[in-house]
């Protein structure tokens, strides 16, 4: 469809770039981009893509806006707290550019729906969930769709682009999930402006892919360190043995994965509710058989922890597993129950038969057992 007079005026500074021009702007208008996760990375990515005139923007998010999101998720304002993110984001993007259409997908991506949702889009993966990142990577390889991935952690981030037939995929770079080593933002903290840089890089890549200008970030992992203000890049190549894009792929359909954890068998994990843990701690006999291991970061541990708990951050657990006393059941604790489940997986791999974890984490403990226990509500 040709550009209207209003569009010619709105995109004037694009049209003045001979490399992009009217042809590039029309390609943007006809393009469909889906942003998976309307969060820290998704905010700048979606805002810039809407402003740039991407004709159809999809937004996938099942969450609601919380006060603690506003430090970095610039799509939302204070009045949006409590609203569904995909809906609130849709309104904001249409207010910015009423020439485009925005499709809100208020859902969680899973093996059953991922192919249908992503079909027909260029995909920006901005999720903080590792299982979703692999799910989306695999779906893009299977569908033959371009994918721009980015991730952030504390003060650092990285980005890469997958183009079908042109280069390696995310799984070529990270064949297996190292869940827990990369904790999610809610748990680890993140500098608010950091996703602004990485999300904008993702939007840049999407615009380049759509308009065919420049050199995409294919076969290179770009890294950004905000504290040092340093960009670096690491070349990597396609792996012939990649499980999804290799010569003999074993992944031929989206994988159904254990929520928030990798492929370890977690069937032997004792999942303790807060009241079950309280009862065990109250009985001398069973208390002696337990050792409480808090796997959060030391700063979080110092702020609050359960009496008698020891601190071994999940990222250090694999090499410090020898510190766990023999003959005791380790009960892993974290803020929400996610890192503690990862800790269980690591413990099982290290030969500990039946570790335990506090389901729902210390947040659930505070809600159900001890209202005076102060744990930061991310
Ligand atoms: Zn691959």
Q: Report the CATH number that the domain containing residue 319 is assigned in CATH.
A: 3.40.250.10
Kindly state whether residues 123 and 37 are assigned to the same domain: yes
Above pLDDT 90, what percent of the chain?
63
Residues 316, 179 share a domain: no
pLDDT for the residue numbered 44 = 97
Number of domains comprising the chain: 2
Instruction: Please write the tens of the pLDDT for every residue from 207-236.
Output: 999 999 999 999 999 999 999 999 999 899
Domain assignment of residue 12, yes or no: no
Last residue of a domain, one of 235, 260, 284: 235
- Cα 77 to middle of ligand 1, angstroms: 38
Distance in Å, CA 172 to ligand 1 centroid: 4
**Which of 29-38, 44-53, 312-321 has the weakest average pLDDT?**
312-321
Distance from Cα 54 to the centre of ligand 1, integer Å: 28
Answer yes or no: is 107 within a domain.
Answer: yes
Q: Would you name the residues annotated as active-site residues?
A: 185, 334
CA-wise closest residue to 210 among 113, 312, 123: 123
| Domain boundaries, position 100 | 31-235
Q: In the chain, pLDDT over 70 holds for what percent of residues? A: 93
Whether 106 and 214 share a structural domain: yes
Phi first, then psi: what are they for 287, rounded to 5°?
A: -60, -40
Structure token digits, residue 307: 């009496």
Same domain? 83 vs 203: yes
The string of pLDDT tens digits covering residues 126-139 is 777 777 888 999 99
3-17, 18-32, 290-304: which has the minimum mean pLDDT?
A: 290-304
Claim to verify: residue 203 and residue 329 sit in the same structural domain: no
Q: Does 14 map to a domain?
A: no
Residues 180 and 72 in one domain: yes
Please check whether residue 281 lies inside any domain of the structure: yes
Within this chain, do residues 183 and 68 fall inside the same structural domain, yes or no? yes
148 alpha carbon to ligand 1 midpoint, in Å? 14
pLDDT digits (tens, 9 = 90+) for 253-269: 998 764 443 445 677 78
- Per-residue confidence (pLDDT) for residue 187, from 0 to 100: 54
Asked whether the beta carbons of 210 and 28 are under 8 A apart, the reply is yes
With respect to residue 211, please indicate whether it lies within any of the assigned structural domains.
Answer: yes
Phi, psi of 297 (to 5 degrees): -70, 155
CA of 27 to the centre of ligand 1 (A): 28
283 and 196 in a common domain: no
Positive or negative, the CA dihedral 99, 105, 109, 114 is negative
Q: What sign for the dihedral angle of Cα 355, 361, 366, 372? A: positive
Is 258 within the bounds of a domain? no
- Tell me: the pLDDT tens digits for 340-367? 888 888 888 777 878 999 988 998 899 8
Residue 250 maps to a domain: no
Asked whether the whole model's pTM tops 0.85, one would answer no
Q: How far is the CA of 263 from the centre of ligand 1 (A)?
A: 18
Taking residues 3-18, report their average pLDDT.
97
Last residue of a domain, one of 189, 208, 235: 235
Task: Examine residue 354 and state whether it is found in any structural domain, yes or no.
Answer: yes
pLDDT of amino acid 181 = 40
Measured between alpha carbons, how far is 57 from 50 in angstroms, rounded to an integer?
7
38 and 136 inside one domain: yes
Q: Which of 188, 219, 235 is the last residue of a domain?
A: 235
Average pLDDT on 329-337 reads 90
- What is the 198 CA–ligand 1 centroid distance (Å)? 22
In a shared domain, residues 178 and 228: yes
Chain position carrying tokens 């919380």: 66
Separation of CA 267 and ligand 1 centre (Å): 29
User: CA-to-CA distance for 123 and 206, rounded, in angstroms?
Assistant: 8
């Amino acid at each position: 469809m040709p550009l209207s007079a209003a569009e010619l005026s709105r995109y004037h500074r694009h049209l003045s770039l001979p490399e992009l021009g009217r042809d590039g702007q029309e390609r943007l208008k006809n393009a469909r981009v889906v942003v998976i996760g309307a969060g820290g990375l998704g905010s700048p990515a979606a805002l810039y893509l809407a402003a740039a005139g991407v004709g159809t923007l999809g937004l996938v998010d099942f969450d609601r806006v919380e006060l603690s999101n506003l430090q970095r998720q610039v799509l939302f304002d204070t009045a949006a707290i409590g609203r569904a993110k995909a809906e609130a984001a849709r309104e904001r993007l249409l207010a910015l550019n009423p020439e485009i259409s925005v499709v809100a997908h208020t859902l969680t991506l899973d093996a059953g729906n991922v192919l249908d949702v992503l079909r027909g889009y260029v995909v920006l993966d901005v999720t903080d969930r590792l299982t979703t990142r692999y799910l989306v990577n695999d779906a893009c390889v299977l569908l033959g769709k371009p994918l721009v991935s980015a991730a952030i952690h504390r003060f650092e981030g990285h980005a890469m682009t997958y183009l079908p037939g042109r280069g390696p995929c995310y799984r070529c770079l990270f064949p297996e999930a190292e869940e827990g080593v990369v904790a999610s933002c809610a748990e680890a903290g993140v500098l608010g402006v950091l996703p602004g840089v990485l999300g904008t890089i993702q939007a840049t890549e999407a615009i380049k892919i759509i308009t065919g200008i420049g050199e995409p970030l294919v076969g290179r992992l770009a890294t950004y360190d905000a504290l040092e203000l340093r960009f670096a890049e690491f070349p990597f190549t396609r792996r012939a043995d990649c499980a999804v894009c290799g010569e003999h792929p074993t992944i031929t359909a989206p994988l159904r994965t254990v929520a928030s954890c990798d492929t370890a068998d977690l069937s032997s994990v004792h999942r303790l509710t807060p009241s079950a843990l309280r009862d065990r701690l109250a009985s001398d006999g069973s208390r002696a058989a337990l050792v409480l291991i808090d796997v959060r970061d030391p700063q979080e541990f110092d702020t609050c922890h359960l009496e008698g708990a020891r601190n071994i951050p999940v990222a250090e657990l694999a090499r410090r597993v020898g510190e766990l006393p023999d003959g005791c059941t380790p009960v892993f604790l974290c803020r929400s129950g996610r890192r503690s489940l990862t800790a269980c997986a690591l413990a099982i791999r290290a030969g500990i038969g039946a570790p335990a974890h506090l389901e729902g984490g210390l947040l659930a403990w505070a809600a159900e057992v001890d209202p005076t226990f102060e744990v930061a509500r991310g």
